[in-house]
Structure 1
Amino acid sequence: MNVLFLCTGNSCRSILAEATFNALAPAGMRAMSAGSQPAGYVHPRSLALLAREGIATEGVHSKSWNGLPHTPDLVVTVCASAAGETCPVYLGKVSRTHWGVADPARATGSDAEIDAAFEHAYRVLRARIEAFLALPGELARRDPVAFQSEVDRIGTLLP
């Protein structure tokens, strides 16, 4: 299964999700990330957080949703609509779900407060990824309606 984590800038949340998913997923499952308007860089705090968590970041970069290396089986948008962002819409006949997370790149305050925003985004995404990876392996193929219901439910989970 190929999962695409999609956001506008592809510099923070979708990068955190891609790297975390790939670190936790079993063989045969892979994540990609992309953006509708890629920032062209990965936020340094995202890279620092992933390094602290022991998650590899080699090859992770901000990229467009055009020319993905694989066709996704599931598209997960991670834009937080509460932050007033325009979430990209992936066109195609694939399962889609929304796992909104506030954008830590927009956090203000002290370094500790900004780091806490990145940590929170990471913890939310990791909890959701772990819940996704705990789903029965053949659920998407065996019962697409139940699969869709579960991935939508996972988008409401908080750590």
Structure 2
Amino acid sequence: MTKKYKVLFLCRENSARSIIAEALLRELAGHRFDAFSAGPEPAARLHPFAVAQLRPGISDLGVLSPKSWLEFTGEWAPRMDLVVALDESVGAHHAPAFPGAPPSCHWNFADPLGEHLAETERMRLFDKMFWQIVRQVTALIELPQYAAAPAGHTVARIEAPASVPHCCSAG
């Protein structure tokens, strides 16, 4: 049996960026990764624009929900192989200690939930952020330490615009 890597995505409200990253990693490489997401101030529900971005290509939206990062800090919590912060407020110096002290990195995306945004601007930011996360998740999947797929499995692809941003190193 091949090891499944556990990745935790963090974002303040866990209603958009981290949820999108969790869903994409699960959809694109769920046979090699267990994806989770959480935040320090979880929202009551997923942001509707995040659901709209995910609905066309994600097979199981029902497993997604905002969660507190405290769910991942106890002795019983799954031991992560990587923690990815998706906003400045949840970076390594703000995040709690996770069991096993997993390595962490930061992916910087503009907050599409910012105040004083017109709905059309918010929709544009969600679309841009979605494709940035697609590229980052794809780059993570292809990192050498995670690249070997079990025999008989192929990695799904989502067609994205050109230009791949720099991906963090997981170690």
TM superposition score normalised by structure 2: 0.72
> What one-letter code is carried by the residue in structure 1 that aligns with 2:105?
T
Of residues 131, 134, 145, the one that matches 1:123 is: 131
Structure 1 residue 154 and structure 2 residue 151: aligned?
A: no
1:86–1:24: structure 2 CA closer, same or farther, 3 Å change rule? Answer: closer
Structure 1 residue 63 and structure 2 residue 81: aligned?
A: no
2:141 maps to 133
1:57–1:11: structure 2 CA closer, same or farther, 3 Å change rule? Answer: same
Identical-pair percentage: 32
C-alpha contact (below 8 Å) 1:77/1:97 kept by paired residues: yes
**1:105-130 deviation per Cα after TM superposition (whole angstroms, max 9, x unaligned):** 11644432211111111111110110
Q: Which residues of structure 1 form unaligned runs of 5+?
A: 140-152
Moved over 6 A (4+): none
TM superposition score normalised by structure 1: 0.77
What secondary structure sits across from 2:134 in the alignment?
A: helix
Tell me, in whole angstroms, the C-alpha distance in 2 between the residues paired with 1:89 and 1:30: 20
What secondary structure sits across from 1:32 in the alignment?
A: strand
Of residues 74, 80, 83, the one that matches 1:75 is: 83
C-alpha contact (below 8 Å) 2:22/2:35 kept by paired residues: yes
> What one-letter code is carried by the residue in structure 2 that aligns with 1:57?
L
C-alpha contact (below 8 Å) 1:4/1:74 kept by paired residues: yes
C-alpha contact (below 8 Å) 2:140/2:146 kept by paired residues: no
2:96 maps to 90
Tell me, in whole angstroms, the C-alpha distance in 2 between the residues paired with 1:101 and 1:124: 8
Q: Which residues of structure 2 form unaligned runs of 5+?
A: 148-165
1:38 maps to 42
Tell me, in whole angstroms, the C-alpha distance in 1 between the residues paired with 2:107 and 2:168: 4
Tell me, in whole angstroms, the C-alpha distance in 2 between the residues paired with 1:138 and 1:3: 11
C-alpha contact (below 8 Å) 1:75/1:90 kept by paired residues: no
- Greater helix percent: which structure? 1
1:21–1:111: structure 2 CA closer, same or farther, 3 Å change rule? Answer: same
| Count of aligned pairs | 138
Tell me, in whole angstroms, the C-alpha distance in 1 between the residues paired with 2:40 and 2:14: 8
> What one-letter code is carried by the residue in structure 2 that aligns with 1:77?
A
Tell me, in whole angstroms, the C-alpha distance in 2 between the residues paired with 1:41 and 1:26: 23
1:107–1:50: structure 2 CA closer, same or farther, 3 Å change rule? Answer: farther
